[in-house]
Amino acid sequence: MTINQSGWRPEAPRDGADATPATFTGNKALMLEEPLIFELGGSDRTGVDLPAPPSVTPRLGGLERARPIGLPGLTEPEAVRHYTRLSRQNYAIDLGLFPLGSCTMKHNPRLNERMARLPGFADLHPLTPVDGAQGALALIHLVGTWLKTLTGMAGIAMSPKAGAHGELCGLLAIRAAHEARGDARKVILVPESAHGTNPATAAFCGYAVQAIPATADGRVDLAALTARLGPDVAGVMITNPNTCGLFERDMIAIAEAVHAVGGYVYCDGANFNAIVGRVRPGDLGVDAMHINLHKTFSTPHGGGGPGSGPVVFSEALAPFAPLPFVEEQDGRFVLVEEETASAAHHEQAFGRMVAFHGQMGMFVRAAAYMLSHGADGLRQVAEDAVLSANYILRSLEDVLEAPFAASGPCMHEALFSDANLAPGFTTLDIAKALIDEGFHPMTMYFPLVVHGAMLIEPTETESKAALDQFIGALRSVAERARAGDATLKAAPIHAPRRRLDETAAARKPVLVWKPAPLADAAE
Ligand SMILES: *Cc1c(COP(=O)(O)O)cnc(C)c1O
């Protein structure tokens, strides 16, 4: 083990044949180790040359800081290197294929970024009077119109800031619609395969969540759903295409049954990429659906955002949609901020979701994406995304069990399970070995209805060559796991960190840096 100048220790190599010899620095060729910035820069140093502050008479009543603030002091090159080295430890869509299922990690065209940085959009103050913001309002209106057209829906709320926020918006509109009739319903039905945000949103709105089982072919069990319906059911939350990568063929029958008991249909539209331009959810009886602009409409995501989750509404729910909204009146765009200002569609608005209009930068990116693809291009997005996923499904189903392969073609994502692996080998081993192959792992253990699930969404932006390389890597790893190759258990062996104790990291995260104990720090 090496202790370098700053007192920071690179990770010790593990025992065993797979261990690569340690280097003095902990670096592995171009893969550079990097300590915390506090370990790197002592608080006794500084990278800038500031004059001593003039003496002032404190007016803080004795509350002024008595000790140094403890910020690390780095020279400019040290600071630049620190952040550059950290950035190299990220996996990114600009580096390689990102197979995370349900996330639609597609390439983000640079044109979008150029447009979002136009000063007229980027520097506009949210309180600019509407006469000075006509271009921005026109753009919000344009994106909203495209989304309503693509989904076949009557109303839209542009302001929600992510998918989960959109779910909240949709369920608050459903609740407002029931309350307006004096009908305090208590139950929301959610399929077992739903994304965790669905039951969380329903519970947050005060509803009791009840699970709807799936059929053996991975879809919502229509008979079980209809059997559970009744006057206490406020609505259902259905993901279509669902998280098993399958189209819910019974969607119209589901919607008719829910409407017959006075409930509403919320559709989780996170998977819209598979059907955009091909299917209009409004034609399937959906009452509210969020659209993750940061998935289907390409804006970058991961690493914490930003997101944008506009919600489209049916005729029945549109009057309850939140404020504010943009409207075109006599060739001008107005921002309707109060319930009384306009009767059109929002006369019973349930309130606001956010202080201002939503994520303007995301709207600009989505508009650039829509306009550069055109309607025919967006349809091709869905077709190519589905083709890519089916290519992966059919190329690997001989080595990995594909639980719903018999249910017909998949939509935009391919689902595999750990059923075919040698005893003791799991989905985790496959994911860790993919890191050694230079890929971000797929989504693991989701959806929960499939044991050891591996959910792979290649998106339409990968070339056949890139898909073939990924398929080759996954095939090689899967064959090792089927053969019981013990070296797989050590993976990843080429990564800067090996297998971490993920449970401890989640349960006992170390979020505060503490200076090293004196014995270590003394030099
Ligand atoms: C991504 C996703 C969500 C949540 O969207 P966020 O923008 O992350 O809040 C909900 N449901 C499904 C199926 C998703 O894939």
Q: Whose CA is nearest to atom 7 of ligand 1?
A: 163
Query: Where do the domains of the chain lie?
Result: 377-507
Q: Whose CA is nearest to atom 5 of ligand 1?
A: 163
Three-state DSSP at 172 gives helix
Count the helices and strands in the chain (H runs, E runs): 15, 12
Residues enclosing ligand 1, CB less than 6 A? 102, 162-164, 195, 197, 239, 243, 268, 270-271, 292, 307, 309
Largest separation between any pair of C-alpha atoms in the chain: 80
Query: Can you tell me the distance from the alpha carbon of 489 to that of 492, in angstroms, rounded to the nearest whole number?
Result: 8
Three-state DSSP at 350 gives coil
pLDDT value at position 443?
97
- Centre of ligand 1 from the C-alpha of residue 48, in Å: 44
- Centre of ligand 1 from the C-alpha of residue 300, in Å: 14
Q: Whose CA is nearest to atom 2 of ligand 1?
A: 270
In ligand 1, which atom is closest to the CA atom of 104?
15
Three-state DSSP at 167 gives helix
Bond into 517 cis (ω within 30): no
Q: Residue 233's closest CA among 184, 182, 180?
A: 184
- Centre of ligand 1 from the C-alpha of residue 142, in Å: 24
Run means of pLDDT, 10 residues per run, the chain, 523 residues? 43 49 86 90 80 87 86 90 91 92 94 95 94 97 98 97 97 97 96 94 97 94 97 98 96 98 98 97 98 93 80 96 92 85 69 92 97 97 98 98 93 97 97 96 94 97 97 98 96 90 92 69 42
- Centre of ligand 1 from the C-alpha of residue 455, in Å: 14
Q: Are 194 and 239 in contact (CB under 8 A)?
A: yes
pLDDT value at position 514?
81
Any idea which architecture 377-507 has in CATH?
Alpha-Beta Complex (3.90)
- Percent of the chain past pLDDT 70, that is, above it, reads 93
Task: Give the tens place of pLDDT for each residue, 308-333.
Answer: 999 999 999 999 999 999 999 999 99
In ligand 1, which atom is closest to the CA atom of 102?
15
HEC string for 323-345: ECEEEEECCEEEEECCCCCCCCC
Query: Can you tell me the distance from the alpha carbon of 57 to that of 377, in angstroms, rounded to the nearest whole number?
Result: 67
- Cα 40 to its chain centre, rounded Å, is 33
Q: Residue 522's closest CA among 1, 172, 3, 163?
A: 3
Query: Can you tell me the distance from the alpha carbon of 243 to that of 240, in angstroms, rounded to the nearest whole number?
Result: 8
In ligand 1, which atom is closest to the CA atom of 243?
13
- Centre of ligand 1 from the C-alpha of residue 294, in Å: 10
- Centre of ligand 1 from the C-alpha of residue 195, in Å: 7
- Centre of ligand 1 from the C-alpha of residue 327, in Å: 28
